[in-house]
Amino acid sequence: MSTDIVAAPKKESLFSKQNRRLLSDPLDDSNPITVQVLGICSALAITVQLQQAVIMSLSVLFVMIGGNVIVSLLRNLIPDRIRIIVQLVVVASLVIIVDQVLKAFQPDISEKLSVFVGLIITNCIIMGRLEAFALANKPGPSFLDAIGNAMGYAWILLAVSIVREVFGSGSISLPGMGQVKFLPTEWFMSEGGFYENNNLMILPPMALITVGVIIWIQRSRNQSLIEEN
Amino acid sequence: MAIDKNSTGYTFLFSIIMVVVVGTSLAYTSLSLKERQKANAADKKMMNILGAIGVDANRANASALFSDYVVERVAIDMNGQELLVTSSAVDPKDKEDPFGIDVKKDYRASVKSAVKAADGDETALLAALSNGNLRFPLFRCDKDGENLFVIPMVGSGLWGPIWGYVALEEDKTTIYGAKFDHKTETPGLGAEIREDFFTEKFKGKKLNADARALFTITKGGAPTDEYSVDGITGGTITSKGVDEMMNRTLKVYSRYFESETRAQR
């Protein structure tokens, strides 16, 4: 069960101090990627371009909210013995819906994300929150917890992908807008200029290094995260 | 609660209801989005065919460019006999339309196992597939007065399916362009078959009608001639897959081209 969250008392407003922490904690102190180091696989794989990161973040947000709220609503009905299977079924069906919708409305990005949409099912953040939070809490707090964690995942993805795309491809891309190259072409060495894109940036190792730098900055700002040994 | 949540009966009941609810909602989603997904897949196919003849298309203009460039769609059978020629507009609902032939599906359903069973024996493969009612699509394109033939093909890489479109020039032996793609090949190795540096090498190469293999993907930096290109280092099995796919498919079409030239004489 979750370490920092106790089941909310009966009459508590949705935006009480405790509930607000559900939203703010995952953004920093208990960030799923940088502190709990969950969901790293997809974070490294799909952050080459901002548009993929945006779509991935929205997909995770949808699955997270849907999964948390549904499991929380069913928490008194789910038989204990098959609770993991039930959680898996809920997450898997939400992911399939997301995948189908992407294929219909964002075919190009869906192609680029390829297997990683399907792999949202195995994203530890989602199963972790269902098991640790939604099963023991009401739908309201579960909803906030889902938004908090999905946002904690999303901002890292967006930050990493912005860094990687700007320095790796010299562009910024958003869904529906396509890729916008903001550097004048005559700056590039191939056109006789002085600038060259850093190809290392679009390779997976650079995602790890970028996440590492974010963790470094976060820990130097927030000393309580540093383990003693 | 009156019901025992942990009883076997309740667990079964819960599972059954869950499966019915989930199944229904997923079936509904799939059915309601199917049309759009099919249209997207058709656009993608047109983009690939146009890509093989060096025309850059996007989703918005794919079908317009397709009807501009592709003048004829032909369906042939395994023995190279012509089944159907059409130049009308693409009709996704028409089952006979060569554009609608799903080579990937055919490959999965029968060709893949036949290739495995034949194990390099061509006559066995031909015998196994001849009675399967397989249809092969061919797209005749007109690009700035040049007559080009685009041939779709499917094969197996290391992890999953690979596919491609090869465009031949009017002499039907010179490769005008090629485009390959894959589903799950290893990034940086086999996955490179979709990159331009690999497909560029095919341009201007020839098919060797006299040799056993029409075309070869060589391994380990072996010297290449006009009938072969260098494979991808570290992507040996994917390269072999491209080799197998090209030879198997192009042979069907060369039978068709032969019978066509005979007919013209």
Q: Quick check: is B171 in a domain?
A: yes
Residues of chain B contacting residue A207, judged by C-beta atoms under 8 Å apart: none
The mean per-residue pLDDT over the stretch A117-144 comes to 89
Mutate to test the interface with A, among B10, B11, B12, B18 (most CBs of A within 10 A): B18
Residue A81 has pLDDT above 80, yes or no: yes
Crossing angle for the helix pair A124-132 and A50-73, to the nearest 10 degrees:
20
Residue B117 has pLDDT above 80, yes or no: yes
Query: Using CB atoms and an 8 Å cut-off, which of residues 175-204 of chain B contact chain A?
Result: 183-184, 187
Residue A45 has pLDDT above 80, yes or no: yes
Q: In total, how many domains does chain B have?
A: 1
Q: Quick check: is B260 in a domain?
A: yes
Contact B193, B185 (CB under 8 A): yes
Residue B1 has pLDDT above 60, yes or no: no
Which residues does residue A195 pair with via DSSP β-bridges, in sequence order? A188
Distances in Å between the Cα of B44 and the Cα atoms of A28, B51, B58 are 41, 10, 8
**pLDDT score, position A114:** 74
Chain A residue nearest residue B4, CA to CA: A79
Distances in Å between the Cα of B192 and the Cα atoms of A169, B184, B195, B238 are 19, 11, 5, 9
Q: Quick check: is B81 in a domain?
A: yes
Contact B59 A103 (CB under 8 A): no
Contact B1 A93 (CB under 8 A): no
The mean per-residue pLDDT over the stretch B10-19 comes to 93
Reported as a single tens digit per residue, the pLDDT across B48-66 is 889 888 888 888 888 888 8
Residues of chain A contacting residue B4, judged by C-beta atoms under 8 Å apart: none
Residues of chain A contacting residue B30, judged by C-beta atoms under 8 Å apart: 100
Q: Give the single-character DSSP code of A27.
A: G
From the CB of residue B155, how many other CB atoms can be counted at a distance below 10 Å? 25
Q: What is the 3-state secondary structure (H, E, C) of A84-151?
A: HHHHHHHHHHHHHHHHHHHHHHCHHHHHHHCHHHHHHHHCHHHHHHHHHCHHHCCHHHHHHHHHHHHH
Which residues does residue A172 pair with via DSSP β-bridges, in sequence order? A180
**pLDDT score, position A2:** 44
Burial B118-143 (b: 16+ CB within 10 A, else e): beeeeeebbebbeeeebbbbbbbbeb
Q: Quick check: is B5 in a domain?
A: no
Complex confidence, ipTM:
0.75
Reported as a single tens digit per residue, the pLDDT across A3-43 is 455 554 555 676 777 888 888 888 888 888 888 888 888 88
Reported as a single tens digit per residue, the pLDDT across B190-221 is 888 888 888 888 888 888 877 778 888 887 66
As a whole number, the mean pLDDT across chain A is: 85
Crossing angle for the helix pair A83-105 and A124-132, to the nearest 10 degrees:
140
Contact B14 A100 (CB under 8 A): no
Q: How far is A126 from chain B (nearest CA, A)?
A: 19
Reported as a single tens digit per residue, the pLDDT across B167-186 is 999 888 899 999 998 887 87
Q: How far is B69 from chain A (nearest CA, A)?
A: 23
User: The tokens 């790890």 sit on which residue?
Assistant: A208
Q: How far is B97 from chain A (nearest CA, A)?
A: 23
**pLDDT score, position A93:** 94
From the CB of residue B86, how many other CB atoms can be counted at a distance below 10 Å? 16
- For residue A43, what are its two tokens? 């974070």
**The whole model's pTM is what?**
0.78
Angle at B106 between CA B103 and CA B194, to 5 degrees: 40
Residues of chain A contacting residue B18, judged by C-beta atoms under 8 Å apart: 86, 89
The residue range of the domain holding B245 is 71-264
Q: Quick check: is B32 in a domain?
A: no
Q: Quick check: is B86 in a domain?
A: yes
Measured CB to CB, residues of chain A less than 8 Å from chain B are: 76-82, 85-86, 89-90, 93, 96-97, 100-101, 103-105, 107-108, 114-115, 204
Residues 6 or more apart in contact with residue A78 via CB below 8 angstroms? A71, A86, A135, B14
Q: Quick check: is B151 in a domain?
A: yes
Judged by a CB distance cut-off of 8 A, whether residue B14 touches chain A is: yes
Contact B168, B148 (CB under 8 A): yes
Chain A residue nearest residue B3, CA to CA: A77
Q: How far is B249 from chain A (nearest CA, A)?
A: 26
Q: How far is B250 from chain A (nearest CA, A)?
A: 28
Residue A185 has pLDDT above 60, yes or no: yes
- For residue B236, what are its two tokens? 């040996």
The mean per-residue pLDDT over the stretch B76-90 comes to 83
| A171: exposed, middle or buried (Cβ count in 10 Å: 0-12, 13-18, 19+) | middle
The rounded percent of chain A whose pLDDT value lies above 70 is: 93
| A77: exposed, middle or buried (Cβ count in 10 Å: 0-12, 13-18, 19+) | middle
Contact A80 B44 (CB under 8 A): no
Q: What DSSP string runs through A57-81?
A: HHHHHHHHHHHHHHHHHTTTTS-GG
**pLDDT score, position A7:** 52
Residues of chain B contacting residue A105, judged by C-beta atoms under 8 Å apart: 36
State the Cα–Cα distance between residues B139 and B49, nearest whole angstrom.
8
